[in-house]
Amino acid sequence: MTTVAIDRANATMEAAVFHGGERITIERVRIPDVSAGEVLVRVSRTALCGSDFKLWHKGAEFTAGHEIFGLVEQPGHSMHGRRCVVYIPLHCDRCAACRRGDTQMCLEVSSLIGWNRPGGYADYLPVPENCLLPVPDDIEDSLAPLLLDTIGTSAHAVRFVSRVVPPKDAGPVLVTGAGPVGLGVILALKDAGFDDIHVSEPNARRLAIATAFGAKPHPVGDTSRRFALILECSGSHAARNLGIEVVLPRGALVLVGENAAPWTIEEGKVFRRKDFYMIRTFYFPIGDLEANTALLRRYKDEYRVLVDGEFGLQELPQGFARFAAGELIKPVLAPERR
């Protein structure tokens, strides 16, 4: 991928517009303005994500897409021409959370690229300089976006809970949901030394991939076995409630999957009568990038299995519908494909 000079005055690009009602159109729009402290990134790949389903249903104010890899198009800037993934949480680098390294939980800024400002289902987007994460040349373009949600989010969850339930003390571990993040969690668990991993997933193809990664099938909804560590990756309220029921005393239930709908916990005796940890993890700190890149290198063949589709912007409406129907696991948009 090479850089291209752009005449910024009245320059336009193609971008996906999420209207709601499961309708996406591809339209020509102005390239967004680049503010001070930002650079323009030309999108090479944006991985589709299930959290965008709510935008598909309800519509989006800004261009969607938040698992973005591209090339910096900012002549004169030190990063010009660099291959980068886009770290989506804006962060100040000054608050107590940022100084601690928790850049995904900045106390001063609450804005996400692809949600509260333009994202990557487009040819270009402006990116704050501190949200540019360089990608080594040995990482192929179509795998680079996996450094974000599929690897970053999942590996952060495993690292975080390993302090509470270390691999040597875990025994059998349950992963509920084998979507991209759940499959990423299985690989991160395996890499961290957890050696008895079980997975609950209703989709036969995803379950087959999870078992190929080394996990053992566990029946959906089964309550006959309890676990010291459960990583809930589906976002399903039923799976969350089941996790509360089957987590062992002094065990940990980690909520990795997302669900925007309200979740009510019934404070029955199963909930009240045991000590257990219920942990929520979000995204990942910038400091994890090197470890995440090393994880991708160690399991490149497995991660390649997840990227099961690639298409240009004009094909995004159909491709997104196939993704929403469960036909694809982690397809990527390649705007440069015309």
Residue 237 contacts residue 262 (beta carbons within 8 Å): no
Residue 101 φ/ψ region, left for φ over 0, alpha for ψ in the -120 to 50 degree band, beta for the rest: left
pLDDT of 266? 86
pLDDT of 2? 52
* Number of H-type helices and E-type strands within the chain: 11, 15
pLDDT over threshold 70, residue 7 = no
> b/e for 285-309, b at 16 or more Cβ within 10 A?
bbebbebbbebbeebeebbeebbeb
62 CA to centre of own chain: 19
pLDDT over threshold 80, residue 122 = yes
Checking DSSP bridges between strand 310-311 and strand 332-333, what pairing results, if any? parallel
Query: Which percentage of the chain shows pLDDT scores above 70?
Result: 97
- pTM surpassing 0.75? yes
Residue 275 contacts residue 297 (beta carbons within 8 Å): no
pLDDT of 81? 95
Residue ranges matching CATH 3.90.180.10 in the chain: 12-142+307-333
pLDDT of 260? 85
* Other beta carbons within 10 Å of 119: 27
Question: So what CATH class is 12-142+307-333?
Answer: alpha beta
- Residue 185's nearest CA partner among 217, 153, 207 is 153
Report d(CA 199, CA 258) in Å as an integer: 18
* Mean pLDDT of all residues in 15-43: 96
* Mean pLDDT of all residues in 124-147: 98
Residue 184 contacts residue 151 (beta carbons within 8 Å): yes
- Residue 304's nearest CA partner among 223, 212, 194 is 212
Residue 213 contacts residue 198 (beta carbons within 8 Å): no
- Single-letter amino acid, residue 169: D
Judged by DSSP in three states, 265 sits in coil
* Mean pLDDT of all residues in 298-320: 97
Location of structure tokens 């989709």: 203
pLDDT over threshold 60, residue 171 = yes
Residue 287 contacts residue 130 (beta carbons within 8 Å): no
Judged by DSSP in three states, 150 sits in helix
Report d(CA 246, CA 43) in Å as an integer: 43
Residue 235 contacts residue 211 (beta carbons within 8 Å): no
Residue ranges matching CATH 3.40.50.720 in the chain: 151-280
pLDDT over threshold 90, residue 338 = no
* Mean pLDDT of all residues in 74-98: 96
User: Residue 336: pLDDT band by 50, 70, 90 thresholds?
Assistant: confident
Least confident among 47-56, 140-149, 256-265, 309-318: 256-265
- Single-letter amino acid, residue 175: V
Report d(CA 122, CA 158) in Å as an integer: 32
pLDDT of 67? 98
Question: So what CATH class is 151-280?
Answer: alpha beta
